[in-house]
Structure 1
């Protein structure tokens, strides 16, 4: 029997029923409306347990997923904003929720220390953490020995694994990737992260650093270890670099030469430097002067275990905007000075910091104080050789407002008092763990004009004062007295 045109029209499904994408949108909208209703009742899943058609099966799958994961109703942008409000210390377990949360959690990570070099070369680093801006490649560049003993050795900022053999305990060229291999990783990193702002790497080559400088124009902080003069030519294109840390020679680990040539390359190529740290670098007056003349924005200079030639201190007068000068683990400061009139001085320096330094030469220490005669803060921490005679050279500093002494065991109360009496502008004083400075040997008038005082010169004295009246420290004496009386009664 033939069907009329009206019957055919009624049996034909709607156009959105033929389009699976349109059907999904309809079902999604229906589900959202039902979830937002105040009188919502969950649809029993048993209704969809036996789908008769493929359309019903799709509807069942969609409904089931929406019921089990309410966060699927949120877009990635909204969910990212929610996850970003969680403190970083509590974000670690977020990636365990689902694959979607795993990907979103990776997009929130901005800083990373790489330990597996293949993770970078394979491209998984970019897929897993696409928004990195601070990357530390030092751990990934170190090669673990085959017969790994599980023991890790740390030397200041370098930590590496050692093997069970006698030769495996020595850090040599085999303990770090070759420069060509490091450059390969730098190329992959630069291609994937053009917004990189901070990078730390060891044994990099000139080519790799040049690629990073060209592909990452926003790079602001760079740390290079095992670098030399030739490698430094690669960072000449880093026009926006503000913080630079160079590590040449590290005693007991590796030897790499950074001389006046490398310092001059840095001075001409990185003119926007604000902070510069030179560790184990060899140089002289010429290299330091080039940095002072070209890097006019430099505010902080740090010298760690430096191997500078005598006379480099004279070049500090070219640093017109230098505000902070730091010495870390330096076995000497400078030498060869005979007259004070040739020194000059840093006009803007405000803070002078010496930590774990060997102070042997009184003339060089006085020359340092004369160059930094306008300092307002002086920090001396765990400096060997700082005697009363050495400390008297600090009397040339007339504008000191804050003095911090820690671990200066050779300095006495008399030596401290002699110097700080001449400082009329001193407002803050901190003395800690200086065993030869005693409370009863310092005149109270010295502290009358201070606004901030932290006084812990001797730990033992403080402990004994705090225990007065408690009876602690005397119980052992009573015990031994009782034991002695018992022995006398027993006739032993």
Structure 2
């Protein structure tokens, strides 16, 4: 009885008396569990498994347990990362195929992916100038070709609720700013600091193709011109004649935007001297935009004479002297002339026989300009008489009389008029009837152009067009006689003839 009782007690203490139970064996090691898992799944390459086990045995370290002094091997789990078998070049090709929306998440995988993802970044916008001066920008993104430095050059007041905006610059301002109305100059880094950053950037990124900067000097731009021979696009804000001495060394520059004076932000002067320096140095320009720049006939003529590849010229809020419009005719290969936010065109353009014209011009684009002076508008259409497209958007003062000067443009194929409240149906009809090659017409938000005033001849002209967008006034009603041409319904109509 005592024997059976003792045996029963032993069974109660050890519910699994099987001598082959894992509890009776030696302690299980991590390497055994890992091998057991890999043998049940898809077989790996035998050479990879052998190399992995060899590294496990060499890099693992013994650790004693508090209970039974069992030696446990801690494997190097990085060997399980199969991407380690790929070279950097191959992994870069894979990461480059992924969408940009996954860029941030890919950078969080590991340090290697962070560095590789940084090598794929080509464009960046700098918010902290110390990021450039410390060298972290180049170390993090070594293959940049487009850098926007403008936000980093400004000491922004993020806590302020006052936001100042213009066509070229936006920034927060402090309520305690001085009342001289040049807020940007008060919150800009010193010129020496900006030049040092430009020099460091140019030395580390010789393949830069596009740079945007504000407040730089001649020396800073000269370092970019010398170290970055492939630079093709440049935007300079707060530019002056002296600064353009450095930009003249950019022999391969093709796209240039110069911002001289911006009301409420900063004041600087670009005159005929700077335009002449620019013309003699950057002879391969294709697109040129002048914002808030001064000048006259001499500066525009120098650009036309020297920059023979120029195809697009944009003037925004210009401060040109009288007579500058005659210099545009020297741009023999100019295809697009764009005027935006100009308070005047040319108050004294001179005699028409001296204006000339641009024989290669294809597009005249006027946006948010004041077209109140008859001499200015007449001279503008005379210089652009070869234009095939005329686009007029939100321009003040354009009435029937001023729009009538556009009849000199005999080759117009597209007319787009938007937001011209003084233009009437009669004034529009008198001009477009003289254009025998007109194919496309777009009229939007011109409240004095009424559907009820459409004549039968104008309705017939509409039927011959390949493209028509007619939405002058959505409140007007379409006469029953014109319903067959599908116009005047709610929201307007837009069609193309194939």
Is the shorter-chain TM-score for this pair beyond 0.5, marking a shared fold? Answer: yes
TM-score calculated relative to the size of structure 2: 0.81
Matched with 1:330 is 342
Residue 251 (structure 2) aligns with: 239
Q: Which residue number in structure 1 is paired with residue 166 of structure 2?
A: 155
1:21 matched residue in structure 2: none
Distance 1:387 1:57 in 2: 89
2:280 to 268, 274, 280: 268
Please say if residues 154 and 184 of structure 2, whose CA atoms lie closer than 8 Å, have aligned partners that are also in contact.
no
d(CA) in 2 for partners of 1:96 and 1:460? 56
Matched positions, count = 428
Question: TM-score if structure 1 supplies the norm length?
Answer: 0.82
| Cα drift, residue 149 of structure 1 | 2.0
Maintained 8 Å contact 1:353/1:378: yes
Give the distance between the partners of 1:97 and 1:270, measured in 2 at CA: 45
Whichever structure has more helix as a proportion of its residues is: 1
Which of 77, 87, 106 is residue 118 of structure 2 equivalent to? Answer: 106
Residue from 446, 458, 466 that aligns with 2:473: 458
Match of 2:12? none
For residues 268-307 of structure 1, the aligned pairs below 5 Å read: 268-307=280-319
Please say if residues 451 and 477 of structure 2, whose CA atoms lie closer than 8 Å, have aligned partners that are also in contact. Answer: no
* Contact in 2 for aligned 1:417/1:446 (Cα 8 Å): no
Superposed CA offset, 1:220-274 (max 9, x none): 0010000100110001110100011100011222110100000000000000000
The answer to whether the 8 A contact 1:402-1:427 is kept is: yes
Task: Give unmatched runs, 5+ long, in structure 1.
Answer: 1-30, 468-492
3-state SS of paired residue (2:464): coil
Check whether the contact 2:272–2:295 (CA below 8 A) recurs between aligned residues. Answer: yes
| 1:119 alignment partner in structure 2 | 131
Quote how far apart the aligned CAs of 1:130 are.
0.8
Q: Contact (CA 8 Å) 2:410, 2:435: kept in 1 or not?
A: yes
**3-state SS in 2 of match to 1:459:** coil
Secondary structure of 2:160's counterpart equals strand
- 1:165 corresponding residue in structure 2: 176
CA contact (8 A) 1:66 1:73 kept: no
Deviates more, 1:290-299 or 1:152-161: 152-161
Give the C-alpha shift of residue 310 in structure 1.
Answer: 0.5
- Paired with 1:385 and 1:176, the residues of 2 have a C-alpha distance of 38
Q: What is the alpha-carbon distance in structure 1 between the residues aligned to residue 398 and residue 168 of structure 2? A: 27
Any idea what the Cα deviations from partners look like across 1:50-89, whole Å, max 9, x if unmatched?
A: x8x755559x77752132x232222211111111111223
Partner of 2:78: 65
- Deviations along 1:422-456, one digit per CA (max 9) or x if unpaired, are 10000011111111111221231121221011111
Residue 40 of structure 1, CA deviation: 4.3
Name the SS of the counterpart of 2:283 in structure 1.
coil
Over 3 Å counting, the alpha-carbon distance change for 1:164 and 1:176 in structure 2 is: same
Structure 2 CA distance for aligned equivalents of residues 287 and 314 of structure 1:
11
Q: Is the 8 A contact 2:59 2:76 kept in 1?
A: no
Q: Does the Cα contact within 8 Å between 1:242 and 1:272 map onto a contact in 2? A: yes
CA distance in 2, matches of 1:198, 1:61: 51
Q: What SS class does the counterpart of residue 291 from structure 1 fall into? A: helix
Trace 1:425-444 onto structure 2 (pairs within 5 A).
425-443=437-455, 444=459
Q: Does the 8 Å contact 2:293/2:318 carry over to 1? A: yes
Secondary structure at the aligned position of 1:354 is classed as strand
Helix, strand or coil for the counterpart of 2:415?
strand
Judging changes above 3 Å, is the alpha-carbon distance between structure 1 residues 40 and 340 closer, same or farther for their aligned structure 2 residues?
closer
Q: Distance in 2 between matches of 1:107 and 1:57?
A: 36
Which of these residues, 463, 466, 482, is aligned with residue 448 of structure 1?
463
**CA positional deviation for 1:98:** 1.5
Partner of 2:21 in structure 1? none
2:43 paired residue number: 39
1:251 aligns with 2:260: no
CA displacement at 1:125 relative to structure 2: 0.3
Q: Of the candidates 116, 129, 141, which is equivalent to residue 129 of structure 1?
A: 141
SS in 2 for 1:149: coil
For residues 170 and 274 of structure 1, do their structure 2 counterparts lie closer, same or farther at Cα, with a shift above 3 Å needed?
closer
Q: Distance in 2 between matches of 1:265 and 1:170?
A: 27
Q: Which of structures 1 and 2 has the bigger CA Rg?
A: 2
